[in-house]
Structure formats: C-alpha cells, structure tokens
Amino acid sequence: MPLPRPPAPDDIRLRKILDETLVAPHWPEGFAMRCLEPGDAPALHALLDEVFDDGTDGPFDTWWPRISGDPEFDPALCFLVIDARGLLAAAALCWTNGFVKDLAVHPEARGRGVGEALMWHAFAALRARGLDRADLKTNTVENAAAVRLYERLGMFEVDWYG
C-alpha cells in the first residue's frame, strides 16, 4: 500500500484490524454524516486547508483533479460530517486500498466525539468492502491529540513500509 509521501520526522503509520471488534459509530447530537456529493469538493478542500494549515494540498484547482483523478479515489469513501448549521464540521477521505488519507475535524467541532464516530464509520465501510485492515499516517508531535484518538480506537504502530 503506497503512502502519499515519505515519512517526516516523528511520522508514524498506524493500523486498525477490521474484525468483529468494530463498534457502531455514535454520532453526537447535532451532527450527521453523509458521503461526498457533487459540489462538496470546495468545502472539503477549505476544511483540509484550515485544519492542516501546511499548504501541502495546494490550491483547489490543482488539488481536486489530483484527488478525484487518483485511481484509489471513490467519493463513496469520502465521509463528510455536517453540523446543525449545515456546515462541514469534519471529513474522512479514504482510499479504496484501506488507507485513511485525511481525517479533519474543524476546531469548533473537536472534543465532541465527531472524529471517533467518523473513524468507526470509515472502518466499517472499509470492512464492508472486504478489507481486513485500515492504515493511516500521522505525526506524534504535531498531531498528538489525533494519536491519542487512534490509540483509543485500537490502532497500533506498524513498520512504515509494511
């Protein structure tokens, strides 16, 4: 399973075994999940840009063709969480090979269980496609809160390339 970029200092690869221990997501009140629909891509890009704030995705006009044209992209594996105001509060973009490319929770939605519910949903969707594991990349220093979430979900570190 190729990774999007070589690891940076403090980057780790985490894995979740997609077995019978998966639990159903519990969506916090005021939040609903749906898959990517036509017209959602600009809001998704804006959320990723705000949350990651590292400029690696580039402008929308280059990002969207690169994402949507990737052979691992399937809009049915791009999960959006909408808040009670109708705004995009969180998103998980998964590749068809079981790699969770992006998990982003807007700062205003953090601490409410949105990210956890989103990950449980992604795990179930990937398992329903016949996959036995899900992997992701994160950084232990820059994203310590996410690492704690992933560990609570039962994810564990694996070798970067295998």
- Catalogue all structural domains in the chain, each as residue range(s) with its CATH number: 11-158 (3.40.630.30)
The structure's pTM equals: 0.92
Write out the E strands in the chain: 11-17, 31-35, 78-83, 88-94, 99-105, 133-139, 156-158
Question: Are residues 121 and 78 in contact, defined by beta-carbon separation less than 8 angstroms?
Answer: no
pLDDT attached to residue 55: 64
The whole-angstrom separation of Cα 160 and Cα 143 is: 17
Tens-digit pLDDT profile for residues 69-83: 999 999 999 999 999
Instruction: Tell me the backbone φ, ψ of residue 138, rounded to 5 degrees.
Output: -150, 175
Q: How confident is the model at residue 161 (pLDDT cuts 50, 70, 90)?
A: confident
What is the average per-residue pLDDT within 54-72?
Answer: 89
55, with CB counted inside 10 A (0-12, 13-18, 19+), is: exposed
Please return the burial class of 103, using the count of CB atoms within 10 Å of its CB with bins 0-12, 13-18 and 19+: buried
Kindly report, residue by residue over 91-120, the tens digit of the pLDDT.
999 999 999 999 999 999 999 999 999 999
55 vs 49: CA distance, rounded Å: 7
CB atoms within 10 A of CB 93: 22
- Three-state DSSP at 135 gives strand
**Closest residue by Cα to residue 98 from 15, 4, 8:** 15
Written as six digits, the tokens of 127 are: 């398992």
Helix (H) or strand (E) holding 145: helix 144-152
